[in-house]
């Protein structure tokens, strides 16, 4: 079996793309999107008529058009996969709990109107305190959430306490940060702070019996991916999926619930808002990468908004 086929026996493989052609070819179980991927998919020349038609239907209301197109892409993806799609709320709402809840409920209503089972949708938001609190409420309403832009253990702990369905720790962005800080170009998985972060989160969750699943995200290489073989889910860009499919190597499981419980016990922690903020102030990686990640997704949304405004 290829490396990808072996990995599938241990881990749920998710396609990290909004490219419908790639999803149709790769046939992943689930698919994840973010504002950058949605923008890339929608500004493709093949989608110009859909953009124009949607702009006309919503009378040029750019925010309404972006929301409608986001749902449309989600529905198109669901026609190609058996599992779930992650749909991200407007990242500009990352520090507003109620606005995030309202947007999530509107998205779920839109999916319901399109005939989509709510079990097939994950609402995605940034793992700020406000985003996590929004997810806490949404999960009580049987709306499943995927907390993204996750870089620190404190974020993961708060997500588990909130009962969220899924978290997406950003492996590659942590590695990028580490390379800059340490002035190193080549860092093996054993020293990779992104890989090690996911392993610690996974260990903590399994030792304390949390149902929240861990989905490694934002990979830079197949080596990072294989270092997390056995993680609940891994969301992988199409080019790396293709690389794994072409690899003829033995894949060794690195993570499992039984392995996690055999490791040194990790103290169970519950974080108040004040304690969460304190941990954030001590975590230089999250302090640096979380705001930048939010700003980057806002920039992607602004790029799409600019393209749509040009159609008025």
Catalytic site positions? 124
Q: Are 167 and 213 in contact (CB under 8 A)?
A: yes
**Cα separation of 185 and 232, whole Å?**
29
**Cα separation of 36 and 217, whole Å?**
14
- Comparing CA positions, the residue from 202, 217, 214, 176 lying closest to residue 15 is 217
Q: Are strands 30-32 and 85-88 parallel, antiparallel or unpaired?
A: parallel
Classify residue 91 by its DSSP letter. Answer: G
Q: Which two tokens stand for residue 74?
A: 């989600």
**Cα separation of 249 and 1, whole Å?**
9
**End-to-end Cα, the chain, rounded Å:** 52
CA 32 to each of CA 146, 215, 225, 237: distance values in angstroms, whole numbers, following the listed order: 9, 11, 16, 10
Question: Using CB atoms within 10 A of its CB, is residue 211 exposed (0-12), middle (13-18) or buried (19+)?
Answer: exposed
**Cα separation of 177 and 123, whole Å?**
27
Q: Are 71 and 90 in contact (CB under 8 A)?
A: no
Q: Are strands 121-126 and 233-236 parallel, antiparallel or unpaired?
A: unpaired
Q: Are 39 and 91 in contact (CB under 8 A)?
A: no
């Amino acid at each position: 079996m290829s490396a990808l086929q072996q990995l599938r026996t241990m881990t749920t493989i998710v396609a990290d793309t909004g490219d419908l052609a790639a999803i149709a070819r790769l046939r992943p179980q689930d698919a994840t999107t973010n504002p950058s991927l949605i923008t890339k998919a929608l500004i493709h020349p093949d989608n110009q008529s859909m953009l124009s038609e949607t702009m006309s239907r919503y009378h040029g209301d750019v925010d309404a058009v972006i929301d409608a197109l986001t749902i449309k892409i989600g529905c198109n993806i669901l026609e190609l996969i058996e599992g779930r799609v992650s749909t991200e709320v407007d990242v500009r709402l990352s520090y507003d709990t109620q606005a995030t809840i309202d947007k999530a409920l509107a998205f779920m209503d839109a999916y319901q109107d399109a005939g989509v089972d709510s079990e097939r949708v994950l609402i995605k938001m940034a793992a700020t305190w406000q985003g996590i609190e929004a997810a806490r409420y949404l999960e009580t309403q049987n709306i499943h959430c995927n907390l993204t832009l996750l870089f620190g253990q404190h974020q993961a702990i708060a997500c588990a306490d909130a009962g969220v369905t899924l978290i997406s720790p950003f492996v590659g962005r942590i590695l990028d940060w580490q390379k800059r800080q340490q002035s190193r170009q080549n860092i093996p998985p054993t020293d990779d702070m992104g890989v090690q972060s996911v392993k610690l989160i996974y260990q903590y969750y399994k030792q304390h019996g949390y149902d929240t699943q861990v989905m490694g995200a934002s990979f830079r290489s197949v080596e990072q991916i294989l270092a997390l073989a056995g993680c609940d889910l891994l969301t992988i860009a199409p080019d790396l999926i293709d690389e794994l499919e072409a690899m003829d190597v033995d894949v060794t499981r690195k993570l499992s619930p039984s392995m996690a419980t055999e490791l040194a016990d990790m103290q169970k922690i519950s974080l108040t808002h004040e304690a969460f903020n304190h941990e954030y102030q001590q975590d230089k990686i999250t302090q640096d990468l979380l705001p930048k990640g939010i700003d980057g997704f806002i920039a992607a949304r602004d790029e799409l908004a600019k393209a749509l405004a040009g159609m008025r």
